[in-house]
Amino acid sequence: MRWTSYAASGSVAAIMTVVGVNSTSAAAQKPVGTRRQLPPVIDVDTALTDTLTRLERRLAKAALDGFRDTLEMARLVGAEFTVRVADAPERSLPRALCGQPNHAYKIESLDEQLHAARRVTDDVAVVSFVLNQKASRDGSDRSGVFYVVDVWKRRSGNWRVIARYSSPQGRTFDRTTVRPPNP
């Protein structure tokens, strides 16, 4: 838009009035309740998303089975694996405390949705998704909806998850006590 000053003739007021009327009428034509159109997704690798979604589902199945299949866990989870959660960001839970067979953490159901993966380097990728779980730990409810980001690393052609970042949506858990898994 080109702005020209015509202070002596009063044209600035006329221009401002026309601009104001045009913008008001354009706003009046926009249907109520419409949402702004988002740009197309360009940061998601669909083939990688498919691969990591299959691995995430295998990991979920292992969790539902109580992490008893230690060979499957070794195929899916790297030794350097750690978990960080949004409601206790000051600490990490190492592999020795996560994904191990124990009777303290019981998962009844898991539902994963909206997987989106992208490559960070040739051998590192991240996948984000929404996880809805029904679970308990030592009788305390751990059910909820979580936004999860997993970091996967490929070694010798095989992907293994090496880190998980999890954020419960709308609730906070008491994480003051962390016990090692029962044998």
* Domains of the chain with bracketed CATH: 46-168 (3.10.450.50)
Q: For the residues 73-81, what does the mean pLDDT come to?
A: 93
73/94 Cα distance (integer angstroms): 14
Cα separation values, 86 from 9, 75, 82, Å? 62, 27, 13
pTM for the full model? 0.69
CB-based burial label for 68 (10 Å; 0-12, 13-18, 19+): exposed
62 pLDDT above the threshold of 60:
yes
How many CB atoms are located within 10 Å of the residue 136 CB?
Answer: 14
DSSP string for residues in 7-36: TTTTHHHHHHHHHHHHHHHHHHHSPTT--P
DSSP string for residues in 49-79: HHHHHHHHHHHHHHHHTTT--HHHHHHHEEE
- pLDDT tens-digit profile of 142-152? 889 999 999 99
Local structure of residue 87 (DSSP, 8 states): T
State the pLDDT at residue 94. 73
State the pLDDT at residue 154. 97
